Structure 1
Amino acid sequence: MNKLVIGVLGLQGAVTEHIKQIESTGNIGITIKKPEQLAEIDGLVLPGGESTTMRKLIDRYGFLDPLKQFSAQQKPIFGTCAGMVLVANELSDSSDAHLQLMDVRVKRNAFGRQKDSFEAELDVKGLEIPYKAVFIRAPYIEYAGDNVEILASYEDRIVAARQGHILASAFHPELTNDVRFVQLFVNMVSESKKVILK
């Protein structure tokens, strides 16, 4: 089996932890520091961090249009926590949405500040056993369009969803030893590559 090459945007956030999880699925994880590296990968993770800072770095290093072009090629993108904020079409507390790749409205820091971080067991669509998720200054999805598949909710708030080649989670899968959620993304990348190769 050919290994997939999955990049992690390396501007801010838990990059190393994501790389380790990708590698634990038997695939290749690389840190993306330059826009031209996007041509080398089959899928991309936008890690957690601070979304406003990440957007400034995306602009500073010339990533905005290349990221949109990457998405336009239908290559899978997985936004975790701040990454979920980056892919949203709308933000509830700002008129400045970022990549606008997913038909959702996201509320930032919706579960409180750093001290309000918590873990919760979630029923995730596609996973048979509940998944223990780590939430840190987490956002959630306030509104999801008709084409958005809701994968998990916590206290009636949407915390994981998929729309086509875009996956988003409010929690940090890279901070657990459970690779099942990351495997969902790996499966998306694998299916996408088969389609592209046809």
Structure 2
Amino acid sequence: MVVDVSYILKEHSEDATQASSGVTGILAVQGAFAEHAAMLDRLGAPWKLLRAREDFDESIDRVILPGGESTTQGKLLRSTGLFDPINEHIKAGRPVFGTCAGMILLAERLDNDPNVYFGALDATVRRNAYGRQLGSFTATENITTFNPDFPDGKLTGIIKAFPLVFIRGPFVAEVGPKAHVMCETNGNMVALQQDRILATAFHPEITSDTRIHEFFLQC
């Protein structure tokens, strides 16, 4: 999916300024935030970019952590003051969706990096797991979804034949009992769900397929 250049200047959807709730906050300190904004516009879901602490207001019901460079994002989360409100949001059990670098930010453990950021997702994630030679590739897989109100992993359905786009992405080295595997490809776990936390090693926002975002908006 090619994003309209107008998204370079957009800070929020047209309906977000009038909304007192139901807005998705998209972390926009670095990375592929514009692509997520465009995807939410396709679904008619209000959104606003989160660039500084004051952007995180009471209208924010869910958060997207986009792909990008996790170390840079981690530093900017602290310097902008956004780390604490997003961390409180996650700890309160509210919906959050991390793609690629966002998966790294959410993980409790990183097996090739001493840093831990939000530490909310019961998994060990390997940064840049595919390396440079296999850093970018595509695949197609089914994705299992779970009911967030049933921590034991009650299935809600299967998103069939979803296009997976990897850009020097991570994968899940180990998964703990709190998290459930949504998708594997080439023998590697690449998507997890833990209650209302979703995390993918791939980039659904740069495809034309809206189904994962639709599921996230229902969580």
Q: Normalising by structure 2, what TM-score?
A: 0.81
Q: What is the Cα deviation at residue 25 of structure 1?
A: 1.4
Q: What is the Cα deviation at residue 123 of structure 1?
A: 1.2
Give yes or no for the alignment of 1:45 onto 2:64. yes
For the residues of structure 2 that align with 1:140 and 1:82, how far apart are their CA atoms?
11
CA pair 128-81 structure 1, distance change in 2 beyond 3 A: closer
For the residues of structure 2 that align with 1:152 and 1:87, how far apart are their CA atoms?
17
Q: Provide the residue aligned with 1:186 in structure 2.
A: 217
Output the amino acid matched with 1:21: M
- Deviation sequence 1:56-88 (CA, Å, 0-9, x none): 111111222222111122211100000000000
Higher helix fraction (1 or 2): 1
Give yes or no for the alignment of 1:94 onto 2:113. yes
For the residues of structure 1 that align with 2:187 and 2:67, how far apart are their CA atoms?
22
In structure 2, which of residues 187, 190, 209 is the aligned counterpart of residue 159 of structure 1?
190
- Identical columns (%): 37
Stretches of structure 2 lacking an aligned partner (at least 5 in a row)? 1-18, 145-156
Is 1:20–1:29's contact at 8 Å kept on the other side of the alignment? Answer: no
CA pair 69-77 structure 1, distance change in 2 beyond 3 A: same
Secondary structure of the equivalent of 2:143? coil
Q: CA RMSD in A?
A: 1.6
Runs of 4+ off more than 6 Å:
none
Stretches of structure 1 lacking an aligned partner (at least 5 in a row)? 189-198
For the residues of structure 2 that align with 1:128 and 1:140, how far apart are their CA atoms?
20
Q: Provide the residue aligned with 2:88 in structure 1.
A: 69
Q: Provide the residue aligned with 1:193 in structure 2.
A: none
Output the amino acid matched with 2:177: D
Q: What is the Cα deviation at residue 16 of structure 1?
A: 1.1
Bigger mean CA offset, 32-41 vs 90-99: 32-41
For the residues of structure 2 that align with 1:113 and 1:172, how far apart are their CA atoms?
17
Q: What is the Cα deviation at residue 114 of structure 1?
A: 7.5
CA pair 128-32 structure 1, distance change in 2 beyond 3 A: closer
For the residues of structure 2 that align with 1:158 and 1:7, how far apart are their CA atoms?
27
Q: Provide the residue aligned with 1:19 in structure 2.
A: 37
Q: Provide the residue aligned with 1:34 in structure 2.
A: 52
Q: Normalising by structure 1, what TM-score?
A: 0.89
In structure 2, which of residues 26, 29, 35 is the aligned counterpart of residue 8 of structure 1?
26
